[in-house]
């Protein structure tokens, strides 16, 4: 009996230590379908709930709540979030999900809708419990091989980077990007926070004697999340006995937050995409997010397409009082993009010493070399995508 791809990428037993908060994020953008095929331009939004579930099942997550507007559909998942635009899908999953296993089904559905792939981007931080991850997520090199199999044939080829300080291996940022053509102007912020303040984290425990809340809506209000971008309409969800997720939507803009509040491996993430960079001051947004969680460490990754003039204040590094900047790294991306990555550690007020570093990782996925470098791949594996999956 022949084994399937999912059988080969079996899961290890769940971590006995704690829950993995760091998410894996996959964004796939598509070009227009012929007008006679999709005269209303619905694109991916024409997918049924059953079709969406078919690729979420492969990633090992389910929909728990939904909120939509005229521009896109947002879904809170059992493990993070899904956003479906007419020509873009963004999936963000935490825990021991198998995100990359969803790619073949997503591309099959896109072919059925006559939507050719335009670009793909994958990003994640450094897992708290890397040994608990299922293959291919146990090393970035394996993830890159899989991604190149599907997207390495795009015009730019597959390009992968590990950003950060080699002497701080828990603060590395992993990015893969491939594109067929220049990207549309857009700014995306990905923010990861660890070591949450105990009082802030207590808000996300249900009915806790230490200041917990009874509902997701109460958590949203008490934590200050509702004040980060007040214009956002929020769909929130609380987990038993603790944990929280939310999606916010406003026109084409989206935000999402996920919180794992347990002491010892507490984590929170914040993302904002498709926001108007001229209407939000980048540093103010970061400070509003931090006030909700007061983490001991955090990182920000800003991806910019459309140039620094379009990005406004988002195109410069941020300085935050009471935090020291460990890294400030800039990386050009195919399609006219720029990625800015910074990591921070809480220190006494005034002790700020920013510096800029860039580092690499070993090809076998083990600890990174101590020299600072940035690695880009050409296509390194034989293309495995079926004919028609990539334009």
List the catalytic residues.
20, 23, 80, 94, 245, 258
Q: How far is residue 369's CA from residue 351's CA, in Å, rounded to a whole number?
A: 28
Helices 140-151 and 103-112 cross at an angle (nearest 10°) of 20
* CB contact at 8 A, 157 and 220: no
Q: How far is residue 38's CA from residue 243's CA, in Å, rounded to a whole number?
A: 40
Q: How far is residue 53's CA from residue 59's CA, in Å, rounded to a whole number?
A: 10
Q: Phi and psi for 272 in degrees, rounded to 5?
A: -135, 130
Q: Could you write out the three-class secondary structure of 129-142?
A: CHHHCCCCCCCHHH
Q: How far is residue 11's CA from residue 28's CA, in Å, rounded to a whole number?
A: 25
Contacts of 288 (CB under 8 A, 6+ apart): 224, 227, 228
* CB contact at 8 A, 31 and 118: yes
Q: How far is residue 192's CA from residue 341's CA, in Å, rounded to a whole number?
A: 11
The single-letter DSSP state of residue 169 is G
88-97 b/e (C-beta count within 10 Å ≥ 16 → b): bbbbbbbbbb
Q: How far is residue 196's CA from residue 49's CA, in Å, rounded to a whole number?
A: 36
Angle at 90 between CA 87 and CA 96, to 5 degrees: 150
Q: Smallest Cα–Cα separation from 118: which of 127, 109, 107?
A: 107
Q: Smallest Cα–Cα separation from 316: which of 281, 351, 270, 290?
A: 281
| 3-state helix, strand and coil shares in percent for the chain, rounded to the nearest 5 | 20, 30, 45
């Amino acid at each position: 009996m022949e084994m399937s791809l999912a059988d080969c990428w079996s899961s290890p037993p769940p971590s006995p230590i704690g829950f993995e908060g760091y998410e894996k994020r996959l964004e796939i953008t598509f070009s227009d379908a012929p007008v006679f095929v999709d005269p209303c331009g619905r694109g991916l939004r024409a997918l049924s709930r059953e079709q969406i579930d078919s690729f979420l099942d492969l990633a090992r997550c389910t929909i728990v709540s939904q909120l939509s507007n005229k521009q896109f559909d947002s879904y809170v998942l059992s493990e993070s979030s899904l956003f479906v635009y007419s020509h873009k899908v963004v999936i963000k999953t935490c825990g021991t999900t198998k995100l990359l296993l969803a790619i073949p089904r997503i591309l099959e559905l896109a072919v059925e809708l006559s939507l050719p792939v335009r670009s793909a981007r994958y990003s994640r931080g450094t897992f708290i419990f890397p040994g608990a991850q299922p293959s291919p997520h146990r090393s970035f090199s394996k993830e890159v091989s899989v991604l190149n199999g599907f997207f390495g044939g795009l015009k730019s080829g597959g390009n992968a980077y590990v950003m950060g300080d080699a002497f701080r291996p828990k603060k590395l940022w992993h990015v893969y990007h491939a594109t067929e053509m220049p990207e549309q102007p857009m700014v995306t912020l990905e923010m990861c926070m660890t070591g949450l303040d105990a009082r802030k984290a207590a808000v996300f425990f249900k009915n806790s004697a230490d200041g917990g809340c009874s509902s997701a809506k109460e958590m949203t209000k008490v934590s200050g999340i509702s004040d980060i971008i007040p214009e956002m309409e929020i769909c929130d969800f609380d987990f038993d006995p603790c944990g929280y997720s939310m999606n916010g939507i406003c026109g084409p803009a989206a935000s999402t937050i996920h919180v794992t509040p347990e002491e010892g491996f507490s984590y929170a993430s914040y993302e904002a995409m498709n926001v108007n960079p001229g209407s939000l001051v980048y540093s103010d947004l970061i400070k509003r997010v931090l006030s909700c969680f007061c983490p001991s460490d955090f990182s920000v990754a800003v991806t910019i397409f459309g140039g620094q003039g379009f990005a406004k204040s988002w195109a410069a590094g941020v300085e935050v009082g009471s935090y020291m900047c460990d890294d400030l790294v800039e990386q050009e991306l195919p399609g006219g993009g720029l990625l800015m990555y910074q990591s921070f550690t809480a220190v006494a007020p005034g002790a700020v010493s920013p510096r800029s570093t860039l580092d690499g990782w070993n090809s076998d996925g083990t600890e990174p070399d101590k020299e600072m470098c940035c690695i880009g791949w050409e296509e390194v594996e034989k293309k495995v995508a079926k004919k028609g999956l990539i334009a």
